[in-house]
Structures are given as C-alpha cells and as structure tokens.
Structure 1
C-alpha cells in the first residue's frame, strides 16, 4: 500500500475518532456536570510514551503468548486473531510504531498519542494513536489497530468489521 494512502487513511481514522468524541448532547440546552466518581479509569496514571511503545511492541511480538496479549488491544480477548495480524505488520512488512508523546483525551479514560510508523524504504509516517483504559489497563483502541492492519494491505480479522 502506498505511503500516501496509509497517511490519508490513518489521518481520516484519527479525524473520525476525534469527531465522534466531539459529538454529544441532545436537544437539551442545559449542561450538567458529571457526578464525581472514583473509577479505575480516573485513578489510572497516564503512561509514558516509552510504556505505550512497550505495549505495542508486546502486542506485535510473536514470542509473547496470546494469553498475555489479550489486554493490550481493546477487545483482544474476544478476537485474539488480531494479534496475528499485528505481528504480521512487523514480521512481513518490517513496520514499527514508536509513541513520541501522550496526552489525555477529551473523554475520561482515553489517551491520544503521537506515533511514528516506520517501514523500510519508506518515509516515516506521523499519526495519532488512540488508547483506552479498560479495568485499569491501557489498551490500543481496536479501531486504530484495525486501521493499521487494513491500511497495510493485510486481511483484517472479522472483529474489525464492527470497528
């Protein structure tokens, strides 16, 4: 797949995710503050760029058992085959993803991370990766993982159809 198509598709995915996050409210013009909670999402510390890069490295490492990966990508337990495709990005195409910066998302329990996708013989691609906190564990959002797989020209698992 061409570099331009990959950039356009990933940028569109990030834009769409941001647009969905910005949507809200109904016809009610009143704004009410959410009730304070002490959920695991709010008490979880924001991981560093290096920690998120490590999470992606583990998700793409074929030597790491799938049982140890299921909490690294949103919905990984329901669709462990996604890890075969993530590993194929690295093994077959030499692709790597490095997180270079992290910021809390607009929605509690989400992160937006600046990422650089590297691939031999191609220019680096700068994208924004999305992460979500599930039960105190930071995970790559399934929609972003599916976009990476699809835009690399690999066969996405069936779970990506719903993403």
Structure 2
C-alpha cells in the first residue's frame, strides 16, 4: 500500500520538527498508541492497539529514524508484530516546508506492507483504515503543536444536556 499527502500545520517549521521527534507528542497523536519510548536518538520502541475491520490487535515494534535533515525532514521506518493478527511494516518520507513564518506544510509519502490475518481483510479495508489513521494522526498532531488560542471574548459553550434534559457529566 502506498499513500502520500500534505498537511498544513499552523506552527513554525522548527516547532513541527520538535513535535515529530517528541515521544510524548507522538504518543498523544498516534491512534491507539499505548507507549512509545526513545531508546536512542534515532530509535524508538512503540506499542499500539489497532482495529482493522473485525481484527483488533496489539502491535509492538521498533521505529527507526534515518536520512535526518533537521528541521527539513527524515525517513521513518517501523515494523510491528501483532501476534496471531500478523505483522505490519512500512516507511514514510517526511519533508517540512515553511509556509511563511507561522505555518508549515508537512509532506509525506508512505509505503506499508501487512501479513497474517490482517492481510486477508482485503486492500480496500486496509487502505481505508490507513487513511483514517493518518487523518486522525495529523488532526491530533496539528492540535498538539499548534493549539488554538483561547478567545476570552467568546461566549461560553452551552451546557450539554442528555436524555430528558438532564445535565451531562
């Protein structure tokens, strides 16, 4: 499976670069990520729970950063084992392009391969899930590195009400 795209992030390129190399930010942004730990400046271990169609599995694996060109980009390569569900491995080339002083365009080109039970689910389901996971990651990543400013003059959000007009907790 191949996937590529671009995402505009409302933060300077240096801040986006720092976020891409910060295990805590990555943990918040990677869908299903339970743990991520730097084992060296260019290697991490990670554990994530993913659901692809009817198959839910915990993947544990290793991530390696190469072709480092701070703050312009890198190549990220990973491989994870999901027990009886199978395996996933892939790589992505990430390039950061400044868009003025306060925004960055993140370009990516990714390749992935899966095997085992998850490979039997079919390319359409796997591709759709991969695109959704990528979209979720970029939305969360953009919020993590460039949180929206709080407008002090904005009216308070209305109270959320549940069934029968009862206040939701």
TM-score, length of structure 2 as denominator length: 0.33
Higher relative strand content: 2
Higher relative helix content: 1
TM-score, length of structure 1 as denominator length: 0.34
Whichever of the two has the greater Rg, that structure is: 2
